[in-house]
Chains A and B, each alone.
Chain A
Amino acid sequence: MGLLSDPVRRRALARLVLRLNAPLCVLSYVAGIAWFLALAFPPLTQRTYMSENAMGSTMVEEQFAGGDRARGFARDFAAHRRKSGALPVAWLERTMRSVGLEVYTQSFSRKLPFPDETHERYVVAGTNVYGILRAPRAASTESLVLTVPCGSDSTNSQAVGLLLALAAHFRGQIYWAKDIIFLVTEHDLLGTEAWLEAYHDTNVTGMQSSPLQGRAGAIQAALALELSSDMVTSLDVAVEGLNGQLPNLDLLNLFQTFCQKGGLLCTLQGKLQPQDWTSADGPLQGLQTLLLMVLQQASGRPHGPHGLFLRYRVEALTLRGINSFRQYKYDLVAVGKALEGMFRKLNHLLERLHQSFFLYLLAALARFVSIGLYMPAVGFLLLVLGLKALELWMRLHEAGAGPAEVGAASAPGTPLPPAQGVGLASLVAPLLISQAMGVALYTLPVLGQHVATQHFPVAEAEAVVLTLLAIYAAGLALPHSTHRVVSAQAPDRGWMALKLVALIYLALQLACIALTNFSLGFLLAATMVPAAALTEPCGPRPFYAALLVLTSPAATLLGSLFLWRELQEAPLSLAEGWQLFLGALAQGVLEHHTYGALLFPLLALGIYPCWLLFWNVLFWK
């Protein structure tokens, strides 16, 4: 610290920072992006390994052989479902009871804030059915969950069949130390959310549901299963949960162990695992998987019903059976054996899964990047904001000290306290107005949907999305409205102070986001940082304006959608992309209201107002 407390050296350092600011910023930004791209390459990505002793060395033998039984159950279920048009609750109850479970049902209803057009639902009412296998002689303090979501579009009848066959097999075994809950939910994630809220007796999202009659203690782990054919070619595993939460890496390792043991073909993000990590091909393929995971995690939406369990600190995974045009197929017995093995090993757990990583990125099923290695990427990006803020602070400071002292190394005068001359009052108006804009963006679309449908020929869902876009675009007119309020006392100092505040605000927000959801933090930083660093009222204004608009949160979302489909090898046309974008906006708002996803409020109340501040700086007069 001696370097900073010595005024002479301090001044020298300040000059260095001022002179080398631009190259340093560019270097730092490039370093951040390069670091991120290097994450898929071997020194940074490591092999996964099982940390949990209770699951590692103990071997289990899978004896599940109920493939025919599972198919029979699945056929019956599908037939009953077709007949009743909804979840055949009575049949499920009867069947679960006949395989020896303690059966309960839970009914729930939820009126969505506006009609969900992708899933075609508005007022949702359904029933969850669950059966509990009580562990013999244990006290029902711990449990495991196997859940199958049944939606309107995905019938999942094979998964229900496998669940029932597994239940019948598990019921005959004597080694269970934890209760096992077999849960079939209606309306996929809404049902899961209703059940979880009722199980924990909380109400997070305004769901109306009947209280649960039967419980089985603290849930230790959960697996969700989605299957829609009797044969599968591969099993895909989904890890990303609500708000980018991830399950403990050991659970994924467990899945991978049984994939290898059973010779199953397992994929992550629909991508096969590259075999060769020494040449460039493997890491490049890993980079695609990594990017897909980053996009998926940044979206903050649960990538399967398991995502909702993570809020309650229940480690969970979703397994999806994929049936594609490969030659080698597996039947339900293979999947059932993998599940049996996983449950038996989870049954051995003495503590909650806690040994392995909670924060990681996956380049492949067996390759991960730990938090210590990926954080520098976002650190370098945020350093740009810090450097820019430092530069502005010094320039403001010098401007306050008077022109005579600018760059004068010999100036012996004591530095003035800088903030006094800036006129913080002039910052209040833009800050308040942009923040108010954010609040309007957050509240008005849902509140004003009925007004909009009365006056315009649009449906509610469209009204919400269009209002959202309208308010978002209206924010661009902000500089004109704020300038009437702002007193033009010192124009140059004014924008500098505003930009300084905006830079610090953005850096703080991005740092906090990156800590909890690295992917979102990194995506936002990678797009917003250059524009935020460059923006100033002098210089090529149209270029800056175009750059700012292109890196605004909404444009990032649109770009991410294109990138996502490109990586999935299903490229979008422009019109499709636009439709998908509108759908994603509606889903984002809906997920905030139905599951408590935080991306929408974060963008509306945090990032968007901050972005408006930069827009304001650009059009400062």
Chain B
Amino acid sequence: MAAAVPLAVLALLLLGPGGWGYAEPLRDSLREELVITPLPSGDVAATFQFRTRWDSDLLQEEGTDHYFLRYAVLPREVVCTENLTPWKKLLPCSSKAGLSVLLKADRLFHTSYHSQAVHIRPVCRNARCTSVSWELRQTLSVVFDAFVTGQGKKDWSLFRMFSRTLTEPCPLASESRVYVDITSSSQDNETLEVNPPPLTTYQDVILGTRKTYAVYDLLDMAVISSSRNLNIQLKWKRPLENEAPPVPFLHAQRYVSGYGLQKGELSTLLYNTHPYRAFPVLLLDTVPWYLRLYVHTLTITSKGKENKPSYIHYQPAQDRLQPHLLEMLIQLPANSVSKVSIQFERALLKWTEYTPDPNHGFYVSPSVISALVPSMVAAKPVDWEESPLFSSLFPVSDSSSYFVRLYTEPLLVSLPTPDFSMPYNVICLTCTVVAVCYGSFYNLLTRTFHIEEPSTGGLAKRLANLIRRARGVPPL
């Protein structure tokens, strides 16, 4: 998938831990992992995960106070080196040892997809949750493009991807592993070869499919000692045909429809490609106030029929204070496309409220789609503390489904924009002059002019006229 997600800042300040992790957690300082997934297209996805934990003095309070729940999005920001450097500084070994030596900016930003995240949460230290540890998870995912960086070749090695190899684990790490997805190789034998051959493999159900990973444990001296460094290589044995990648069960698309600068429509397409299972999704939309949503035009259609959401929460926008918040629980029928559309009107901003580049357009943040997607393979419940980090970021208790949170693409909407340049001033000036002229012309056209006779008599004449009128005689 070449589509990228913008920097989305999800600040969840929950006092008290989430609904999981009640088992006694390991009080490790650092666990680090690199998962390499060769894609059938020839691209390679690499995901780093770092987990740091430390004790805190925070005392547990009862329950979760939703009053402190905050959600904010910055749809405009594109991740760049500026974001990577401070992110790397949070790691205990910085980029000096362990997996983090691979984090070289010039390679990471030579990719077709880049996503970087920081998750922070409190974790209970005992069953009664009287004391709490903090957990900081940092993840970074990149997809290396076979077309651009591979120059058409589909074989990969750590050195080709990151221009570095692994030499030593981070001394602070309690666990430091590299996982390579060899599922396709183990299924229809030997399409893919990994070098050096892995000492162990690991099987798990990830996002509803059974996966096999080759595991390289950097703490195991045998892995590195042979040649003083570890350069994992992937070789495709059979040339791959250019097939479309498999479609996930849930995916979404968002766009603005209509033309002109007055009205428009926000449309979100939700695809459920599961052949026979319907499942609900939670759609969260925040729309800036300058798109005035017409909530009565909200329509959800699936398979040509209206689809009534089972839950709607709508918080209207206040100008310049808060955006629209629209949250819906929608049931997606099996094998269907559901279209959620809502019309809006583009507001005129005050002239000081325009950004310095008003003609670029204004961003609308992505919708967030959260769902429990039914799994094809039943996953066996695992111990979240023991299993690899990448499988436990969103732990789900139910084995028949897995949790997915999707961000749609952000949108760029043009608002009616004055021309902030010299002609604009000229137009304003001309309009003022025309308005003044119009006033006096209108005055001239709607009034008739009489020549006023100079009044000779004063009060006496008026009185005389009054009397004459009373008598029915023409006035003087």
Contact of A351 among B2, B3, B110, B357 (CB under 8 A): B357
Q: Are A200 and B258 in contact (CB under 8 A)?
A: yes
Q: Are A138 and B242 in contact (CB under 8 A)?
A: no
Complex interface: stretch among B90-98, B129-137, B167-175, B443-451: B443-451
Complex interface: stretch among A95-103, A238-246, A430-438: A95-103
Question: Does B40 count as interface, using CB distance less than 8 angstroms?
Answer: no
Question: Does A81 count as interface, using CB distance less than 8 angstroms?
Answer: no
Nearest CB of A to B413, in Å = 8
Q: Are B112 and A217 in contact (CB under 8 A)?
A: no
B358: chain A residues at CB < 8 Å are 351
Point out residues on A near B: beta carbons under 8 Å: 1, 4-5, 7, 10, 94, 97-98, 100, 102, 134, 136-142, 171-174, 200-202, 214-215, 217-218, 311-313, 350-352, 354-355, 412, 414-415, 417
Give a binary string over B99-131; 1 marks a CB under 8 Å from any A CB, 0 the rest.
000000000011111100000000000000000
Complex interface: stretch among B186-194, B383-391, B404-412: B404-412
Q: Are B147 and A311 in contact (CB under 8 A)?
A: no
Q: Are B255 and A215 in contact (CB under 8 A)?
A: yes
A98-B111 contact in complex given A4-B444, A5-B444, C-beta closer than 8 Å: no
A136: chain B residues at CB < 8 Å are 2, 4, 111-113, 145, 148
A173, A174, A417: residue with the most chain B Cβ atoms closer than 10 Å: A174
Interface of chain A, main secondary structure: loop
A201: chain B residues at CB < 8 Å are 255, 257-258, 265, 267
B411: chain A residues at CB < 8 Å are 141, 217-218
A141-B414 contact in complex given A136-B113, A171-B147, A174-B110, C-beta closer than 8 Å: no
Give the 6 A-B residue pairs with the shortest CB-CB distance, closest first: A201-B257, A134-B2, A351-B359, A100-B147, A1-B440, A351-B360
Nearest CB of B to A89, in Å = 15
State the CA gap A415–B358 with chains docked (Å). Answer: 54
Contacts across chains A and B counted by CB atoms under 8 Å: 108
A139-B5 contact in complex given A201-B265, A217-B412, C-beta closer than 8 Å: yes
Contact of B360 among A137, A352, A414 (CB under 8 A): A352
Look across to chain A and name the residue whose beta carbon is closest to the beta carbon of B256. Answer: A218
Question: Does B419 count as interface, using CB distance less than 8 angstroms?
Answer: yes
Contact of B253 among A4, A215, A311, A313 (CB under 8 A): A215
Nearest CB of B to A132, in Å = 9
Q: Are A217 and B449 in contact (CB under 8 A)?
A: no
A200-B259 contact in complex given A7-B451, A100-B147, A140-B409, C-beta closer than 8 Å: yes
A171-B255 contact in complex given A137-B113, A139-B410, A352-B361, C-beta closer than 8 Å: no
State the CA gap A313–B110 with chains docked (Å). Answer: 33
Question: Does B403 count as interface, using CB distance less than 8 angstroms?
Answer: no
State the CA gap A173–B360 with chains docked (Å). Answer: 24
Point out residues on B near A: beta carbons under 8 Å: 2-6, 75, 78-79, 109-114, 145, 147-148, 242, 244, 253, 255-259, 261, 265, 267, 357-361, 363, 409-414, 417, 419, 421, 440-441, 443-444, 448-451
Nearest CB of A to B22, in Å = 38
Look across to chain A and name the residue whose beta carbon is closest to the beta carbon of B440. Answer: A1
Q: Are B448 and A415 in contact (CB under 8 A)?
A: yes
B147, B410, B443: residue with the most chain A Cβ atoms closer than 10 Å: B147
Q: What are some 5 contacts across the A-B interface (CB < 8 A)?
A: A98-B242, A139-B75, A140-B4, A214-B253, A354-B419
Contact of B4 among A4, A10, A138, A313 (CB under 8 A): A138
Look across to chain B and name the residue whose beta carbon is closest to the beta carbon of A358. Answer: B419
Look across to chain B and name the residue whose beta carbon is closest to the beta carbon of A173. Answer: B148
A141: chain B residues at CB < 8 Å are 363, 409-412
Given A136-B2, A218-B361, A412-B451, 15 additional A-B pairs, CB 8 A:
A94-B242, A102-B2, A134-B112, A136-B111, A138-B78, A140-B409, A142-B412, A171-B147, A174-B148, A201-B267, A218-B411, A218-B412, A313-B259, A313-B261, A351-B359
A172: chain B residues at CB < 8 Å are 147-148
Q: Are B360 and A139 in contact (CB under 8 A)?
A: no
A142: chain B residues at CB < 8 Å are 412
